[in-house]
Amino acid sequence: MHDVTYHAPTSLAEALRLLGNDPAHTRPLAGGTDLHLQMERGGNAWRHVVDLKRIAELAGIARNPDGGYTIGALTLAAEVESHVDLAADYPALAQGAACIGGPPIRNRATLGGNVCNASPAADSSPPLLALGARAVVAGAEGTRELPLADLWRGPRQTTLAPGELLTALRLPPPPVRGGSAFTRLTRSAMDIALVNAAAQVALDAQGHIAQAALALGAVAPVVLLVPQAAEAVRGRAWSAELAAEVARLASAAAQPIDDIRASADYRREMAGVLAARAMAQAVERARAAGGVATAGTSGAAGKSDKAGATGKATARQRPGRRGAP
């Protein structure tokens, strides 16, 4: 193991300069919960680590004039989980943040680090994608903004150019009569997700779904949107039949692999189950938020709440389990 030079800039400009000096051999350090493991597993080419934690402008949660939010890349997962206004407007994101490791990890891990780690199983990524988040990226050529989906190239791979840095994530205003939800499936509470899913919906005055988004994680090389499901529910009232259609479309969109945690067939089936649960809970929350009268939520509604407020579920809680653990 060779020596690694540690840098601790106090401004974004200084950090970008350090990252650009030798980008092939330099890594940024946010929370560091994954970086240390990566260094042990093959980071021998790195010569410099740039610690970003002293750059105040990269942290914090702020409401935008349009009612959306800007979340600094260095904002802790625990801060996202516990932010009252953010959780009220985007409950799916608070749920996802609450699933990032245990309390010690969440008080160290950052939202930007979780996103830029580019794991298909990251628990913050499906909520951010379903909520329409955009990534703010800074580099030597200035600042650019892009849809979050365009930030990921593949497992552990981003589209960031050498020397570029994710500085913030921007969320659009929550929709009127809107709701969102996140759910995940694991072998144990502290394991990474076998499958996770997030949904956002907005209802019209009659309680029909006016718009929707569904995102799946751990079932493809990158976290993916399922536009077919969003289109299928538009203009319709939530029902058991619609839940089954969402499940079918989500399973069809999944591109899972076999590994030691689960079989591809099992992941594909559970992608449908979790997609329907997330959508059902999002509809339920939208009804509550908009005061839409309902005799009860049909189909998969309520099942996601069996896992508690965080949306966590373990393999032992699921009947009819198939495939590998």
Residues 189 and 313 in one domain: yes
**Strands 61-63, 152-154: parallel, antiparallel or unpaired by DSSP?**
unpaired
Residue 33's pLDDT is what?
Answer: 78
Residue 238's pLDDT is what?
Answer: 98
Residues 142 and 218 in one domain: no
Residues 97 and 13 in one domain: no
pTM of the model: 0.89
- What burial letters (b/e) apply to 260-288, b meaning 16+ CB within 10 Å? ebbbbebbbbbbbbbbbbbbbbbbbbbbe
Residues 134 and 236 in one domain: no
Quick check: 323 and 194 in contact, CB under 8 A? no
Q: The domain that contains 277 carries what CATH number?
A: 3.30.390.50
Range of the domain at 295: 178-317
Structural domain count, the chain: 3
DSSP states of 136-190 = EEEETTEEEEEEGGGGEEETTEE-PPTT-EEEEEEEPPPPTTEEEEEEEEBSSTT
Residues 202 and 309 in one domain: yes
- Both tokens of residue 110? 């950052």
Residues 255 and 307 in one domain: yes
Residue 324's pLDDT is what?
Answer: 31
Residues 191 and 284 in one domain: yes
**Strands 26-29, 48-51: parallel, antiparallel or unpaired by DSSP?**
parallel
Residues 38 and 82 in one domain: no
Quick check: 127 and 96 in contact, CB under 8 A? yes
Spatial distance between the Cα atoms of 304 and 39, rounded to a whole number of angstroms: 37
Single out the residue of 122, 127, 172 nearest to residue 145, CA to CA: 172
Residue whose pair of structure tokens reads 């020397």 in the numeric block: 163
Residues 276 and 153 in one domain: no
Q: Is residue 325 part of a domain?
A: no
**Strands 48-51, 5-7: parallel, antiparallel or unpaired by DSSP?**
parallel
**Strands 69-72, 61-63: parallel, antiparallel or unpaired by DSSP?**
antiparallel
Residue 302's pLDDT is what?
Answer: 44
Spatial distance between the Cα atoms of 284 and 205, rounded to a whole number of angstroms: 14
Residue 44's pLDDT is what?
Answer: 61
Residue 179's pLDDT is what?
Answer: 98
From first to last of its 325 residues, the chain has per-residue pLDDT tens of 578 899 999 999 999 999 999 998 899 999 987 776 776 666 567 789 999 999 999 999 999 999 999 999 999 999 999 999 999 999 999 999 999 999 999 999 999 999 999 999 999 999 999 999 999 999 999 999 999 999 999 999 999 999 999 999 999 999 999 999 999 998 877 788 999 999 999 999 999 999 999 999 999 999 999 999 999 999 999 999 999 999 999 999 999 999 988 999 999 999 999 999 999 999 999 999 987 765 444 454 444 333 334 455 544 333 333 333 2
